[in-house]
């Protein structure tokens, strides 16, 4: 496990492990099987900070929003956020469950930490969501599926193109 914790796995995209209220053992088992660069955690701020300190790995905390009061505090001891809609009432899974986030909740929020906009994003709405939220990065899953769990290469290409294009049709230049 020490090797998995020491450094990135090498060139290429980051390897992100998504965990819901994880035990330490669950993360250890995952890291033994596959070196991860980032832990994306569905847990509270305190637990996310504990796991970051324990494993010495980048931690991004997923935060579901219903109201602006749900926005994360600026002093959390983690590395970044995935900001999305809160799960709908009665949902059995965490996350937005393909529910689009009300981006007006982000108008007055500013984070010193990097964050991704997620939840309900599709090729047809990602441009407007980026413009409304000032997000510099986005996360997509179900919005590029042709059926539940089946990613569609054409939808992925359309999403990436749309995410890189501003509302005027010009190439988007991130504000990093």
pLDDT at 110: 85
Q: With 50 as the cut, is the pLDDT of residue 149 above it?
A: yes
Whether the CB-CB separation of 87 and 118 falls below 8 Å is answered with no
Least confident of 36-50, 66-80, 81-95, 108-122: 81-95
The mean pLDDT value of the chain amounts to 85
Q: What is the CATH number of domain 2-163?
A: 3.20.20.70
pLDDT grade for 176, boundaries at 50, 70 and 90: very low
Model pLDDT for residues 123-132, shown as the tens digit of each residue: 999 999 998 8
Question: Any residues with CB less than 8 A from the CB of 33 and at least 6 apart, and which?
Answer: none
pLDDT at 169: 63
Taking the C-alpha atoms of residue 109 and residue 83, their distance in angstroms, rounded to an integer, is 11
Q: Angle formed by the axes of helices 126-133 and 153-163, to 10°? A: 30
Whether the CB-CB separation of 155 and 123 falls below 8 Å is answered with yes
Q: With 60 as the cut, is the pLDDT of residue 174 above it?
A: no
What does the domain layout of the chain look like in residue ranges?
2-163
Which carries the bigger pLDDT value, residue 123 or residue 87?
Answer: 123
pLDDT at 33: 95
Q: What is the 3-state secondary structure (H, E, C) of 80-126?
A: EEEEEECCCCCCCCCCCCCCCCCHHHHCCCCCCCCEEECCCCCCCCH
β-bridge pairing 38-42 and 58-65: parallel
Q: With 60 as the cut, is the pLDDT of residue 175 above it?
A: no
Model pLDDT for residues 12-68, shown as the tens digit of each residue: 888 999 999 999 999 999 999 999 999 999 999 999 999 999 999 999 999 999 888
């Amino acid at each position: 496990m020490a090797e998995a914790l020491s450094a990135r796995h090498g060139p290429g995209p980051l390897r992100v492990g998504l965990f819901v209220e994880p035990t330490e053992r669950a993360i250890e088992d995952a890291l033994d099987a596959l070196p991860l660069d980032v832990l994306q955690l569905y847990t509270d701020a305190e637990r996310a900070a504990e796991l970051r300190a324990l494993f010495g790995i980048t931690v991004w905390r997923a935060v579901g929003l219903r109201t602006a009061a749900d926005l994360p505090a600026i002093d959390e001891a983690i590395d970044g956020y995935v900001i999305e809609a809160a799960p709908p009432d009665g949902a059995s899974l965490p996350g937005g469950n393909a529910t689009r986030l009300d981006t007006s909740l982000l108008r007055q929020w500013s984070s010193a930490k990097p964050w991704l906009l997620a939840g309900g994003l599709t090729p047809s709405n990602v441009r407007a969501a980026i413009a409304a939220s000032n997000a510099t990065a986005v996360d997509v899953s179900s919005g590029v599926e042709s059926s539940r769990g089946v990613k569609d290469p054409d939808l992925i290409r359309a999403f990436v193109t749309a995410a890189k294009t501003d509302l005027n049709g010009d190439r988007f230049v991130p504000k990093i």
